[in-house]
């Protein structure tokens, strides 16, 4: 008796790159032509190694995943989040160290318009958030806002973009993202304080603010010559290169709750999310603003943690 398995008709393998329908083959050919044309008109290179035809090649993407494989506690590297005796003011979980592929990809994502890298960075951030909160579903995720100048320059807020990507993918089940914070300039903060004062005291406050402005213009004129070895910084140019004390003074009082969202965080457990941890001054200011709005800060999560810049000065 003949084995039925041996009687099966074997069909030769067909190339999977071609569709049997003529219309589909035409569409595939057009698609390949468009890809080739885009590669010529707008060539893309890997932001890490320079390989062609991809913003992040497979090898560099794998190295980035390895760098973010194990989230870790990073507040010990942030002096602004520690007391003088070493006690932790705010626990922070970082997805990875700010170096190698992670640093290069993050810089390209934030400053070089490589928005497509969000699909690679977002999973690392989501993994760090899950490591920080576990499976709790009663926590609000509060992103640290970008300044108005940075938003105009980039066209987006990096943290909000990454969290939006995670929400669309369903990677934050049970967690609620509350975009409740905003950056304010020192002038806006003073104006808000003056507006809240009684009418009889506003005249005195206006006089104080005017005298302070004249004093600043007298000792720091706009056209003053720059001293050798001193770099003058414009407002909104970021905090890169600043020491611990300068960073703390720069961000102090720079965040508040958005209008009509004063009660959004009241009585809620919150976790703050930022992109890079350096000294911790920005996270400390965000925690102050959330606490002032009635929220309870349980911790913070960052995509990358780096060592603070040199400088032992106190804030």
Question: Which tokens hold the place of 139?
Answer: 């926590």
**pLDDT at residue 219 is higher than 60:** no
Residue keyed to tokens 């720079």:
254
pLDDT in tens, 157-195: 999 999 999 999 999 888 999 999 998 875 544 444 444
Instruction: Decide: 255 and 184 in contact? Cβ < 8 Å.
Output: yes
Measured distance CA(252)–CA(80) in Å, rounded? 12
Q: Give 129-175 as a DSSP string.
A: HHHHHTT--SEEEEEPPPPHHHHHHHSS-HHHHHHHHHHHTT-STT-
Higher pLDDT, 38 or 281: 281
Up-side HSE of residue 52: CA atoms within 13 Å toward CB? 6
- The predicted pLDDT at position 207 comes to 57
List the single range of 119-128, 195-204, 286-295 with lowest mean pLDDT: 195-204
Residue 148: band (very low, low, confident or very high) from pLDDT cuts 50, 70, 90 = confident
**pLDDT at residue 202 is higher than 80:** no
**pLDDT at residue 8 is higher than 90:** no
pLDDT, average across residues 234-244: 48
- The predicted pLDDT at position 233 comes to 43
Range list of H helices, 47-92: 58-67
- The predicted pLDDT at position 190 comes to 46
Measured distance CA(154)–CA(142) in Å, rounded? 21
Spell out a b/e string for 277-288, using b for 16 or more CB atoms within 10 Å of the CB, else e. Answer: bbbbbbbbbbbb
**CB neighbourhood size of 294 (10 A):** 15
Distances (CA, A) of 4 to 1, 11, 259: 9, 16, 76
Task: Tell whether domain 71-185+240-305 is in CATH 1.10.860.
Answer: no
**CB neighbourhood size of 74 (10 A):** 25
Residue 236: band (very low, low, confident or very high) from pLDDT cuts 50, 70, 90 = very low
φ, ψ of residue 6 to 5 degrees: the values are -80, -15
Instruction: Decide: 124 and 65 in contact? Cβ < 8 Å.
Output: yes
Looking at mean pLDDT, say which of 261-265, 281-285, 310-314 comes out highest.
281-285
- The predicted pLDDT at position 19 comes to 63
The per-residue pLDDT of the chain, averaged, comes to: 77
Measured distance CA(273)–CA(175) in Å, rounded? 13
- The predicted pLDDT at position 35 comes to 64
Instruction: Decide: 268 and 140 in contact? Cβ < 8 Å.
Output: yes
pLDDT, average across residues 290-308: 91
Percent of the chain with pLDDT over 70: 68
């Amino acid at each position: 008796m003949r084995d039925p398995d041996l009687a099966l008709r074997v069909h030769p393998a067909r190339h999977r790159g071609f569709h049997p329908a003529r219309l589909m083959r035409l569409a595939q050919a057009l698609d390949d032509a468009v890809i080739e044309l885009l590669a010529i008109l707008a060539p893309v290179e890997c932001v890490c190694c320079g390989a062609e035809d991809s913003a992040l090649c497979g090898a560099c993407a794998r190295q980035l995943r390895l760098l973010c494989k194990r989230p870790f506690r990073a507040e010990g590297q942030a002096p602004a989040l520690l007391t003088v005796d070493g006690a932790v003011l705010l626990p922070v979980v970082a997805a990875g160290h700010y170096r190698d592929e992670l640093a290069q990809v993050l810089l390209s994502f934030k400053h070089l318009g490589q928005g497509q890298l969000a699909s690679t960075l977002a999973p690392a951030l989501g993994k760090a958030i899950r490591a920080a909160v576990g499976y709790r579903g009663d926590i609000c995720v509060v992103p640290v806002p970008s300044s108005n100048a940075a938003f105009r320059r980039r066209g987006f807020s990096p943290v909000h973009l990454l969290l939006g990507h995670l929400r669309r993918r369903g990677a934050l089940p049970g967690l609620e993202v509350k975009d409740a914070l905003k950056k304010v300039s020192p002038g806006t903060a003073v104006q808000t304080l003056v507006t809240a004062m009684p009418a009889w005291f506003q005249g005195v406050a206006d006089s104080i603010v005017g005298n302070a402005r004249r004093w600043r213009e007298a000792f720091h004129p706009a056209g003053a010559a720059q001293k050798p070895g001193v770099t003058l910084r414009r407002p909104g140019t970021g905090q890169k290169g600043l020491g611990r004390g300068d960073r703390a003074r720069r961000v102090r009082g720079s965040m508040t709750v958005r209008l009509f969202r004063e009660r959004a965080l009241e009585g809620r457990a919150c976790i703050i999310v930022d992109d890079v941890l350096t000294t911790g001054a920005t996270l400390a200011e965000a925690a102050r603003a959330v606490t002032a709005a009635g929220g309870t800060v349980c911790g913070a999560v960052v995509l990358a943690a780096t060592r603070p810049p040199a400088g032992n000065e106190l804030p």
